[in-house]
Amino acid sequence: MQTDNGTIFEIQAASFAYDHNVRALDQISLTVQAGERIAVLGSNGSGKSTLLKIMDGLYFPTSGEVRAFGQSLTEQAFRDDEFNFAFRRRVGLVFQDSDVQLFSPSVWDDVAFAPLQLGLSREEVLARVETALATLRIEKLRDRAPHRLADRAPFRPLRRAAPGRGRR
């Protein structure tokens, strides 16, 4: 699951309709390069979550093509266990609605869930969880219950880094 040119995702004229009549996406084209950071913005119901679910292989476009790491994301591709496992090791989606999240007792446990599914050693899981918490600057939330994260103020949103000054 490699790409020669650094392209992570390539979406060409993708459309999606719920129940084949409620259009959520119409001819969307997008390319995401390695190391690039993007923001998907829009009003409620504009198709942001649908686009992300398509990029995560949870939904499939009704027309157009979606490729990740140079390979087409199709229902058939995900039936291949080797492809599915390789893709899931590299791509994941965190839902914004805590009601559809995992039922873990702490943020640390939620972050550890995916690495634990990969069959990694205990030491590797610990290292990956600590790296993820540090990267997201949420170390102080490690012991908080996920369903209680919104209970305390103030919330500090991440700021956009100046060009050339982002963390990598």
All CATH 3.40.50.300 domain ranges in the chain, comma separated: 1-80
**CATH number, domain 1-80:** 3.40.50.300
The CA distances from residue 60 to 64, 112, 133, 167, in Å, are 10, 28, 31, 32
The Cα–Cα gap between 54 and 68 comes to 11
pLDDT score of 162: 53
Mean pLDDT of 32-37: 92
The Cα–Cα gap between 19 and 33 comes to 32
Assess whether pLDDT exceeds 50 at residue 153. no
Higher pLDDT pick, 154 / 85: 85
The CA distances from residue 75 to 6, 47, 71, 136, in Å, are 24, 20, 12, 32
pLDDT score of 101: 56
pLDDT, tens digit (0-9, with 9 covering 90-100), for 79-89: 998 898 889 88
Residue 115 banded pLDDT, cuts 50, 70, 90: confident
DSSP designation for 13: E
pLDDT score of 100: 55
Assess whether pLDDT exceeds 50 at residue 140. yes
Residue 168 banded pLDDT, cuts 50, 70, 90: very low
pLDDT, tens digit (0-9, with 9 covering 90-100), for 59-103: 999 999 999 999 999 999 999 988 988 898 888 877 666 555 556
